[in-house]
Structure 1
Amino acid sequence: MNKKFFAAEGAFDEINDSNDNINIGIGTGSTTTIFINEFLPNLKNRINTIFSSSNESTELLENLQFEVSQGAPENFLLDYYIDGADEIDKNYYLIKGGGGAHTKEKILAAASKKFICIVDDSKQVEILGTFPLPIEVIPFAEHSVRRNLGNM
């Protein structure tokens, strides 16, 4: 077992102490994949609703017979949003979104009572910026964003 496994196990322990009828959001990435495959099945009977930030995670969840809700949560907050990060500093500031699901990750995190970030020490940095800063741009704004980024 590796550090990512133990980080994912910590997320499971946090959620396992909660009540039944859990509403959760799931992110994407290597540590989140470990959480989905190794620990989430143990919570299956206690999960009311599950949302996914990526096609990759949705496929993993559906392969485990989870029914993934489509769209964003509307009339309630998720109890938890579980995801990894690309970098984390000593102040717990993060760089996220390198897996290409940044916008959905932000929506699910904002719709959650608690964000559980599962990272191991390989993600710790002194100063953020070792990992490229991800951005997502809607098609409508592509040209203006390119122009503005090019002027930086």
Structure 2
Amino acid sequence: MSIAYLSLGSNMGDRVGNLSRAVALLDRPEEGIFVELVSPVFETKPVGYTEQDDFLNICLKVITDLSPMELLSACQKVEQELHRERKIHWGPRTIDVDILTYDDIKMDTERLTIPHPRMEERGFVQVPLLFLGGTGKIPEKWEDEVRYYGILPKYRVE
């Protein structure tokens, strides 16, 4: 079994519902993915393309027996099920699911780079990750761009 960290974001429609449904769709032990930890929800300003609504972001710690590429396919399947459309680079989305790390693996393919190449510079990734590790404070560096939003409610997919 391997440990992977994922980043999820939503800024369209029912943002909390989109995140909750994505977590429920990812938590499939029978398919080789178990969501072990879910960070609190943080609201953040968009990065890159800024003419859009604010995002809600979380990070997950997952235990998986899927390979990195199989995990990527599972993440993309969740995006499809929640009607993710890729029209504008860094544009609005119902859901975005990114693999941040996968054990100590380093890989760079056309479809997947691990660790995620921009994760270190993004408050919307680093702050939820810090909270997964037990830190209960937003670093001063990101106080202006990352706001605590709340705890994600449980959601089941029927």
Asked if these proteins are the same fold (TM beyond 0.5), I'd say no
Under TM normalisation by the shorter chain, which class is it?
A: under 0.3
TM-score, normalization by structure 1: 0.26
Of structures 1 and 2, the one scoring higher in RCO (CA 8 A, sep 6+) is: 2
Larger fraction in helix: 1
Larger Rg: 1
TM-score, normalization by structure 2: 0.26
